[in-house]
Amino acid sequence: MDQQGIPRGPLWGQLKQGRDVAFEGKPLRSRDYLLFKHAPRKVVIAGDNDQPELLAQACAGAQVLVHEATYTEEMAEKAGEVGHSYGKQVAAFAERVTLPNLVLTHFSPRYPLISHTSPSIEDIRKEAQSVYSGALYLARDFSEYSLDKPGQLTELSYE
């Protein structure tokens, strides 16, 4: 039993699972009985979007933003015309709203993954890193990530 006489068992288990219950005719809110060491994890995933600032409210309290970054800044005008963003633009937004982890994705095929010439996906990375101080990831096909309870994102290796 806890200090209010709630017996350990199914009722207590429901409270621990986040469900509100009734005990001896009184409603009990699970949040009054749970102690969280960490805030709930929150990930925001955005598709084509040439105005990342529209996501400011959704990103409040988030640990991760996954967002398309189709172009480099050189293509900013074209990006806006077709409803896409560019890496530096998204990274600047992520910095302003203090997102600790940013995953950029949906790159234009004009930017090869591995290239010794410019433009390449590496240019998108460099532009984003120039304005963003958090953990930056460039998504690849079949990439997998893990977000731990404190909110640290890790890219899982795959073979």
Q: Is the pLDDT of residue 57 over 90?
A: yes
Residue 5: pLDDT band (50, 70, 90) is: confident
In terms of DSSP bridges, do strands 153-156 and 144-147 run parallel, antiparallel, or are they unpaired?
antiparallel
Instruction: Average the pLDDT over each of 19-23, 79-83, 115-119 and give the range with the smallest value.
Output: 115-119
0.85 surpassed by pTM: no
What the block records as the tokens of 83 is: 């409803």
Nearest to 64 by CA among 122, 145, 124: 145
CATH of the domain at 108: 3.60.15.10
The residue with tokens 């050189």 is 74
Tens-place pLDDT, residues 13-38: 787 777 888 888 888 888 777 766 56
First-to-last C-alpha distance (Å) of the chain: 49
* Residues 24 and 65 both lie in one domain: no
* Residues 71 and 133 both lie in one domain: yes
Q: How many domains does the chain have?
A: 2
* Residues 26 and 71 both lie in one domain: no
Query: How do the residues of the chain divide into helix, strand and coil, expressed in percent and rounded to 5?
Result: 30, 20, 50
Neighbours of 106 (CB within 10 A): 15
Domain extent, residue 115, equals 43-156
Contact 102, 134 (CB under 8 A): yes
Q: Is the pLDDT of residue 73 over 70?
A: yes
